[in-house]
């Protein structure tokens, strides 16, 4: 047995070696690591645990890819929910957002533009009395049935009537049509109306102005303007005040839905609005364009469950993503408890290992967000074309979603970190 006899102590102390150092073969001993008095590098305190986390993630490709897929899934879900939400709100207010006047008067009891409370027409003339007001035109809004000129189906369409020549309201494409729209029984069609109204732009290009049936009356489509479909109406037509009155006979001329005001050049909109509020009777509320759109948006956000539905969808996506990330980090720790305990025995603190777990979570956030962002951008384009919803990726939303995904992964990391306490270095022996 004892074939390896113990070596007798080396009598003379070799420099660097203790006197009892055995069988020195002349092979140089590795130099001790240089402990220079260099200052502690705070970047290393973040970088080293992050590198450890990345090496661990990278080692198990299948687990890494399922984690990335989970984050990506959450990311796409949140992007789609938020995209739909804002697209619906944008489209809900498309008609009002396309108005180009400076100020608007509306009845204070109106809650949403497609069910307006009327206000007296004389408020327009009263507004004109103020020197700041250059023009004030009554606007009439109503819905009527449109018959598809090709297959005869009927759908409700939004009618907008006002004094075209006053130049207060403007829509893209309207100006050159004004002379034609002064003829009796004419109208301009919104080219972004949904296709169910018929291929109106194609028909116009094909055979010029043609007859279409609105509210059981034949009217001539003389040209195209651009507004966009909204919640209340899938399509719009614009016509002169006179033609509107012919079409909607039950409406009293003296009752208007909105008064659009153009201010004199150089007038301060805020001051003018304040003066209008002061002089107008209490059946009038004064808005500027932004306030009018926001007012309409608030209705859809607060009075309908739409906002809640999409918020709920986003939160579900984040929770599912968090559970996936948590599961992966947790099982990563659980299956490497021995290794974590060894690191603790080597002097790694809980705090250091916690930083490694958190780094893993944040690496997953970034790795999942990037493809999720790319996929969502592609889906916005694809789905936007299919639904006519204005789905567009913008930097603000991208940053917002990244912040959510980051928080989601960080939460998962913080939860999974508790598992580190189970790694007890005293159990290692």
Partner 1 sequence: MTAPVEIAGLGYAYGEGELRRPVLRDIALTLAPGEIVLLTGPSGSGKTTLLTLIGALRAMQEGRCRVLGEELLGASEGQRVALRRRIGFIFQQHNLLGFLTAQQNVAMSIELDPATSERARLERATAMLAAVGLSDRGASRPAQLSGGQRQRVAVARALAGDPGLILADEPTAALDRQSGGEVVRLLRDLAKRRGVPILLVTHDPRILDIADRIIAMEDGRIVPTKQAEAVPAP
Q: Shortest gap between Cβ of 390 and partner 1 (angstroms)? A: 47
Stretch that binds partner 1, among 64-72, 74-82, 111-119, 347-355 (CB under 8 A): 347-355
Stretch that binds partner 1, among 66-74, 166-174, 289-297, 340-348 (CB under 8 A): 340-348
Q: Shortest gap between Cβ of 335 and partner 1 (angstroms)? A: 10
Please write down the HEC assignment for all residues of the chain.
CCCCCCCCCCCCCCCCCCCCCCCCCCCCCCCCCCCCCCCCCHHHHHHHHHHHHHHHHHHCHHHHHHHHHHHHHHHHHHHHHHHHHHHHHHHHCHHHHCCCCCEEEECCCCCCCCCCCCEECHHHHHHHCCCCEEEEEEEEEEEEEEECCCCCCEEEEEEEEECHHHCCCCCCCCHHHHHHHCCCCEEEEECCCCHHHCCHHHHHHHHCCEEEEECCEEEEEEEEECCCCCCCCCCEEEEEHHHHHHHCCCCCCCEECEEEEEECCCCCHHHHHHHHHHHCCCCCEEEEHHHHHHHHHHHHHHCCCHHHHHHHHHHHHHHHHHHHHHHHHHHHHHHCHHHHHHHHHCCCCHHHHHHHHHHHHHHHHHHHHHHHHHHHHHHHHHHHHHHCCCCCCCHHHHHHHHHHHHHHHHHHHHHHHHHHHHCCHHHHC
- 419 counts as binding partner 1 under rule CB under 8 A: no
Q: Which of residues 89-148 bind partner 1 (CB under 8 A)?
A: none
Q: Shortest gap between Cβ of 418 and partner 1 (angstroms)? A: 17
Nearer to partner 1, 338 or 418 (CB): 338
Taking CB under 8 A as the criterion, the residue among 255, 342, 377, 411 binding partner 1 is 342
- 62 counts as binding partner 1 under rule CB under 8 A: no
Nearer to partner 1, 278 or 346 (CB): 346
Contact string (CB under 8 A) for partner 1, positions 10-49, x = contact: -------xx-xxxxx----xxxxxxxxxx-xx--xx--x-
Q: Shortest gap between Cβ of 368 and partner 1 (angstroms)? A: 20
- 58 counts as binding partner 1 under rule CB under 8 A: yes
Taking CB under 8 A as the criterion, the residue among 4, 61, 207, 421 binding partner 1 is 4
Contact string (CB under 8 A) for partner 1, positions 350-389, x = contact: --x-------------------------------------
Total residues in contact with partner 1, by rule CB under 8 A: 49
Binding site for partner 1 (CB under 8 A): 1-2, 4-6, 17-18, 20-24, 29-38, 40-41, 44-45, 48, 55-56, 58-60, 336, 338-339, 341-349, 352, 425-426, 428-429
């Amino acid at each position: 047995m004892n074939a390896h006899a113990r070596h007798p102590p080396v009598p003379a102390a070799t420099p660097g070696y203790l006197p009892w150092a055995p069988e020195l073969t002349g092979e140089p001993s590795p130099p001790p690591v240089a402990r220079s008095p260099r200052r502690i590098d705070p970047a290393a305190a973040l970088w080293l645990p992050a590198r450890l986390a990345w090496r661990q993630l990278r080692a198990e490709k299948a687990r890494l890819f399922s984690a990335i897929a989970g984050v990506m899934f959450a990311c796409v879900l949140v992007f789609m929910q938020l995209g739909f939400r804002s697209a619906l709100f944008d489209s809900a207010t498309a008609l009002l957002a396309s108005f180009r006047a400076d100020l608007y008067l509306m009845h204070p009891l109106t809650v949403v533009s497609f069910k307006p409370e009327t206000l007296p027409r004389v408020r327009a003339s009263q507004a004109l009395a103020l020197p700041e007001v250059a023009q004030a035109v009554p606007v009439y809004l109503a819905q009527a049935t449109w018959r598809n000129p090709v297959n005869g189906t009927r759908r409700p369409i939004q009618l907008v009537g006002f004094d075209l020549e006053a130049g207060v309201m403007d829509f893209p494409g309207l100006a050159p049509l004004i002379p034609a729209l002064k003829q009796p029984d004419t109208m301009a069609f919104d080219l972004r109306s949904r296709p169910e109204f018929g291929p109106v732009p194609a028909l116009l290009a094909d055979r010029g102005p043609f007859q279409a049936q609105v509210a059981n009356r034949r009217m001539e489509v003389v040209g195209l303007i651009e507004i966009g479909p909204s919640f209340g109406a899938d399509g719009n037509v614009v016509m002169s005040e006179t033609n509107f009155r012919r079409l909607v006979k039950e409406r009293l001329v003296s009752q208007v839905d909105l008064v659009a005001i153009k201010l004199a050049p150089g007038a301060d909109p805020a001051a003018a609005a304040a003066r209008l509020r002061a002089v107008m009777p209490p059946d009038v509320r004064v808005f500027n364009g932004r306030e009018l759109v926001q007012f309409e948006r608030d209705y859809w956000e607060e009075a309908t469950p739409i906002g809640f539905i999409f918020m709920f969808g986003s939160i579900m996506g984040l929770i599912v993503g968090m559970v996936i990330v948590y599961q992966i980090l947790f099982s990563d720790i659980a299956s490497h408890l021995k290794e974590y305990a060894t690191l603790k025995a080597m002097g790694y603190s809980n705090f250091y290992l916690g930083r490694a777990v958190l780094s893993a979570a944040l690496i997953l956030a970034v790795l999942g967000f990037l493809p999720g962002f790319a996929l969502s951008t592609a889906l916005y384009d694809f789905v936007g074309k299919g639904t006519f919803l204005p789905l567009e990726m913008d930097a603000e939303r991208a940053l917002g979603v990244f912040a959510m995904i980051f928080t989601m992964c960080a939460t998962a990391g913080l939860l999974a970190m508790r598992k580190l306490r189970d790694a007890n270095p005293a159990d290692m022996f």
